[in-house]
Amino acid sequence: MAIIGFIGLGIMGRPMAKNLIKAGYKLVVYDKYAKFNDLVALGAEGAASNKEVASKSDIIITMLPNSPHVKEAILGAGGVVEGINSGTIVVDMSSIAPAASREVAAALKAKNAAFLDAPVSGGEPKAVDGTLAIMVGGEKAVFEKVKPILDKMGSSVVLVGDIGAGNVTKLANQIIVALNIAAVSEAFVLSTKAGVDPEAVFEAIKGGLAGSTVMNAKIPMILDGNFKPGFRIELHIKDLQNALDTAHELGVPIPLTAQTMEILQALKVDGMTANDHSAIARYYEKLAKIEVRK
């Protein structure tokens, strides 16, 4: 069985790594900022650097916040490229700019290593239970080699195109999620201000055309006033910035995304970047001077 290196053990990476350990894989783990004693206790081998992870692994998974972090971990001093073995596959499961994925892939190819961009959707709950949606960019032959591993972390694993296509797909996903949360927030603040019980509104509309996975996940949080992060606002700001940058490079106007970004920026000013992105509702609640609660 292949030895898997896992770099990035935050809210998402830690449970993903745990699921691989539970599936019987041998892991070598490292995180520059987070401790990983719990994973070592479960049987993983702790490493002292990204370079060491690379030297001991057949397949390397990275799960990091943004493009600069991925480039530092893979291309920087003491990085993956310094220790990587010929024939290794690097699977970046971070959500980064498609152009950054292509840059990293080119550097790894020079080391005779393969690359896939494989961002995920589903947040912490689905990372924990191993039911993430995983969208992958890269060569089909490389994808087929790692798909059994990805299947241990996700319920949907789809090859969507060449390198960079995974992150393009994730940007599309993040646009839809952000706009959906904003629409849900706008609608429920309106109905609450009008004096209609928001729980009753949820029950009435969730089975119709307005129903969505986003509504089912986020309205219970909003009703409870629970904005503990499954996916932090600061990360959604990062994703929408990548979406805007990519869209502008391609000459594609995305005005609704730009408007939602401004909502997120307002929440940032109010000190809410560590909250779950369901806190978009707080923006509307502040404007209307009412809270959507049970």
Active site residues: 170
Alpha-carbon distance of 136 to 53, in angstroms, equals 22
CA atoms within 13 A on the CB side of 275: 21
Alpha-carbon distance of 216 to 222, in angstroms, equals 11
Helix axes 165-193, 280-288, angle to 10 degrees: 30
Name the token pair of 43. Answer: 């049987």
Tokens 């350990």 sit at which residue? Answer: 21
Asked if residues 148 and 164 have their Cβ atoms less than 8 Å apart, the reply is no
Alpha-carbon distance of 187 to 177, in angstroms, equals 15
Name the token pair of 176. Answer: 């839809």
Alpha-carbon distance of 6 to 27, in angstroms, equals 7
**In a 3-state reduction of DSSP, which class is residue 109?**
helix
Alpha-carbon distance of 234 to 247, in angstroms, equals 20
Alpha-carbon distance of 267 to 280, in angstroms, equals 7
